[in-house]
Amino acid sequence: MSLRIRLPAALLALNWALFVSAFAWTCKTQENVLWWLRLDWAGWLRELPELMQLGSMSASTVWILWLCVTLLLTAAWLMPTAKPVAQPKPDASDAARRVVPSIAPMVDADPVLKEKLLRLHQSLEKL
């Protein structure tokens, strides 16, 4: 797994770990789990304009936003990505014909020239 894949996965796991630990700590402080049900689930969207103006928000809105962002990030991470379609490797005659179409008969007649053009084409593709 490359760093491009592992770093977002690690940050997402860290976000979930922080969310669960904050939830557990709040449950212990409140001495029950029912505080989660008493959040303002119906009115948290009304406070979003306050967020845009960096105004004050209730803790209920912060909890719900944190949960929504975490769920959206997790869903985006779990979405399947389209795999790149492998392009067929060009053969020597295709590479030679693409260089200059007018010299195609000359290239087809000389296998050494065809091989050199193929190597040149491959080295240019690497750049």
Low-confidence ranges of the chain (pLDDT < 50): none
Question: Closest Cα partner for 99 from 77, 71, 122?
Answer: 122
Rounded CA gap, 34 and 58, in Å? 18
Q: Rounded to an integer, what distance in angstroms lies between the CA atom of residue 41 and that of residue 76?
A: 23
Residue with tokens 């789990």: 33
For position 20, what pLDDT does the model report?
A: 94
Tell me the whole-structure pTM to 2 decimals. Answer: 0.57
pLDDT of residue 88: 63
Which pLDDT does position 92 carry in this prediction? 55
